[in-house]
Amino acid sequence: MKIAILSRNRKLYSTRRLIEACEQRGHEPMVLDALRTYMEIASSKPEAHFKGQTLPNFDAIIPRIGASVTFYGTAVLRQFEVMGSFPLNESVAISRSRDKLRSLQLLARKGVGLPNTGFANSPDDIQDLIKMVGGAPLVIKLLEGTQGIGVVLAETKKAAESVIEAFMGLKANIMVQEYIKEASGADIRCLVIGGKVVAAMKRQAQAGEFRSNLHRGGSASLIKITPAERATAVKAARIMGLNVAGVDLLRSERGPLVMEVNSSPGLEGIESATGKDVAGMIIEFIEKTAKPHKTKTKGKG
């Protein structure tokens, strides 16, 4: 199979592993920087070009689109979908999962456990917003933040008011969430492929830090998840419409709570912690599933 990997850097661990997994299984991988890929939008013969060359029709596309290039990256992926390539994750599903507020609203509508979350526009509503999520301590998140950047723990009501006012003054979109104290700075990353949790790891924040992201110095270890956690992760990925997803859960007194659903989960932490060949599982899923013009969300925007 001809498989394109949309990635800005072929040296990244996840991209390297996907190239290796393709080659080991006899496929032809090609790495494309989404920002250097451009399109000819025509009803007769839509095309994609890269550095002056017309690209062939790929059997499958693996999108590794960074959050900062979501708009252009999903437009490129959509062009390949129009051309008939099978997307590992569809453009609509990626856009849906990248909108943190929309994704939480969709999960809430389907009854998935979530931390109590508030969203407001006016500084006049800050007091009630804080009360809605159970008061301080609480977590304040920038909607555009990734990898733990733009996430603040406000330990007192006064601190929460000051941080929320500052963000609102900068016209930044934020949401506030209850702080799940019993999680003790740890979360669980479940890697879902094709409706199954294939690997799971516990991420623990370093001392004095509440964000467990590995980019922020958190540590990863193997963990055995409960049936409820497994079911929650699978359901969250399905609601987002993602074939491959990293679902981040918190263990709370009222069961597993979804923090985020990631459409381009990194492979280094989960492969190191579990010893599993996740890249190989992704390529195996493509082999079993990929068919021309197989896009579930066709016609849905």
Domain limit, last residue, from 163, 179, 195: 179
Whether 169 is covered by a domain: the verdict is yes
| Cis-peptide into 56, omega within 30 deg | no
What's the predicted TM-score (pTM) here?
Answer: 0.88
3-state DSSP assignment of residue 218: coil
210 and 271 housed in the same domain: yes
175 and 186 housed in the same domain: no
Q: Note the pLDDT of residue 215.
A: 53
Q: Note the pLDDT of residue 39.
A: 94
207 and 143 housed in the same domain: no
Q: Note the pLDDT of residue 298.
A: 43
Contacts of 27 (CB under 8 A, 6+ apart): 1, 2, 3, 283
Whether 298 is covered by a domain: the verdict is no
Whether 10 is covered by a domain: the verdict is yes
83 and 229 housed in the same domain: no
Using alpha carbons, select from 4, 81, 57 the residue that is nearest to residue 300: 81
41 and 157 housed in the same domain: no
Whether 221 is covered by a domain: the verdict is yes
155 and 28 housed in the same domain: no
Q: Note the pLDDT of residue 64.
A: 96
Whether 70 is covered by a domain: the verdict is yes
35 and 152 housed in the same domain: no
Domain limit, last residue, from 131, 161, 179: 179
Q: Note the pLDDT of residue 220.
A: 80
Residue 132 burial (10 A CB sphere; 0-12, 13-18, 19+): middle
Domain limit, last residue, from 179, 202, 227: 179
> Tokens 């949790």 sit at which residue?
197
Q: Note the pLDDT of residue 144.
A: 73
38 and 166 housed in the same domain: no
pLDDT tens for the chain, 301 residues long, are 999 999 999 999 999 999 999 999 999 999 999 999 999 998 788 999 999 999 999 999 999 998 889 999 999 999 999 999 999 999 999 999 998 899 999 999 999 999 999 998 888 899 999 999 999 899 998 887 565 577 888 999 999 999 999 988 888 888 999 999 888 878 999 999 999 999 999 988 766 555 555 555 567 889 999 999 999 999 999 999 999 999 999 999 999 999 999 999 999 999 999 999 999 999 999 999 988 777 665 434 4
CA distances in angstroms from 261 to 146, 189, 233, 271, listed in the order given: 12, 10, 9, 18
166 and 192 housed in the same domain: no
Whether 124 is covered by a domain: the verdict is yes
163 and 189 housed in the same domain: no
50 and 148 housed in the same domain: no
266 and 216 housed in the same domain: yes
Whether 172 is covered by a domain: the verdict is yes
CA distances in angstroms from 134 to 157, 183, 257, 281, listed in the order given: 11, 16, 16, 41
Whether 299 is covered by a domain: the verdict is no
Q: Note the pLDDT of residue 300.
A: 43
Count of structural domains, the chain: 3
Q: Note the pLDDT of residue 203.
A: 87
Q: Note the pLDDT of residue 88.
A: 97
- Strands 37-40 and 255-262 come out as unpaired
Write the CATH number for 8.
Answer: 3.40.50.20
The domain in which residue 67 lies consists of 2-89
Q: What are 164-179's pLDDT values in tens digits?
A: 999 888 888 889 999 9
